[in-house]
Amino acid sequence: MKKSIMRKYARLAVQKGVNLRKGQACVIQAGVSEHEFAEMVAEEAYRAGAKWVRMEWSDQAVTKLHYRHQTIAELCRVADWAVEKMKFTAKELPCMIAISSADPDGLKGVNPGKMQKAMIAQNKVFKPIRDEMESKYQWTIVAVPSKKWAKKVFPGERTSTAVEKLWEEILRAVRVTEDNDPVNEWDAHNKTLREKCEKLNAMNLEYLHYQAPNGTDFKCWLIPTAKWQGGSEILKTTGVEFNPNMPSEEVFISPLRGKCEGTVVSTLPLSYQGTVIPKFSMDFKDGKAVAVHAEEHQELLEKMITMDEGACMLGELALVPHNSPISNSGVLFYNTLFDENAACHIAMGRGFDESLEGFENMSREEIKEAGINDSMIHVDFMIGCQDLDITGHTRDGQEVAIFRNGNWAI
């Protein structure tokens, strides 16, 4: 890929992704194999006025070695320096840029029980600190191709060709070309998403009913005071606008905690904890996932919905038309950042505080009482397809067609 267009993408991540302000700090999380692009992002952050940039490098292969060879006790141990580092981050509130590039199957074979215990132990320490940071800093997730990820997406191509093709698809999805101004493209796109949110928020919906011939038949209730969101977000504390996910084609909301019924069928593979789960369904009763049915890796899904009290409940409903750029590309990315923007999806686990009006003046307990689910996980999986119908039921008893045959009906 040309260095000039990579640079343009790096600049977009800083200027439109996190919208770094002069004098802010910046943390960049990246895999070691993608150091070239990460270094470009760091340079663009400094050009935008960052007072310091901290790189947090990772290596999926080494992570897999840790899970295989360390004892559960060691995996569960949290070093004092790691806690202090997290506390410093919560105090400083730097912009956070995550660069996704992992092999979708890179942790396949790791004992799911061992992984679950380690995650639970570490989250007991880190989650309260992360909660203090919630909705107080700018963040974004972007992606660049690694060799293994590219070969997963384009298995029939030589590695170099696969990487180049994945670069092309990523850049198309984030609206970066050699000739355009991606900042203007994103401004126009955000405006379109906000218009959809305004229409949905004006409907005063009580619940949504999802139906598809594949077996999806699912009802989910909404919080009366919750609002649909999409595209860019604005920090209540500073007024700074940023784009958390690049790409983003969704409008979303956090549903009412513990009130949904029925069955949903996945329509795209889920890459969860470094393992690809090709197809599964999930049954809900009294607001909780009570059963999962998977052709492969059912134990991993069962561990997922038992991570904590809120892991079996929903944190998000997201609407994405089948006729959207990523869906129309015909590319299966095996990466939730992209695949969730090809289809309607739901998420198990934590909801979004900012769905509630006035959330910034509420305690964590008040937010939970209002109906936002809380959990250590937030796992999206896709349930949208070309023949999905979604009907909205308003609080005054009307029915409204939201989606018909996989696309917007409003």
Q: What is the DSSP string of 245-304?
A: BSS---EEE-EEEEEEEEEEE--S-EEETTEEE--EEEEEETTEEEEEEESS-HHHHHHH
- Sign of the four-CA dihedral 286, 287, 292, 297: negative
Q: Please tell me the predicted confidence (pLDDT) of residue 364.
A: 87
Q: Domain segments of the chain: what residues?
A: 3-173, 189-408
Q: What is the dihedral of CA 146, 148, 150, 156, to 10 degrees?
A: 150
Q: Please tell me the predicted confidence (pLDDT) of residue 25.
A: 98
3-state secondary structure of 82: helix
Q: Please tell me the predicted confidence (pLDDT) of residue 135.
A: 87
Q: Please tell me the predicted confidence (pLDDT) of residue 360.
A: 86
Residue 188 Cα to chain centre, angstroms: 22
Nearest to 26 by CA among 137, 132, 101, 109: 137
Which CATH architecture is the domain 3-173 placed in?
3-Layer(aba) Sandwich (3.40)
pTM: 0.90
CA distance 370 to 373: 9
Q: What is the DSSP string of 21-55?
A: PTT--EEEEEEGGGHHHHHHHHHHHHHTT-S-EEE
The token pair that represents 294 in the structure block: 């998977």
Only one residue has tokens 């940071």, namely 133
With a cut of 50, list the residues of the chain below it in pLDDT: none
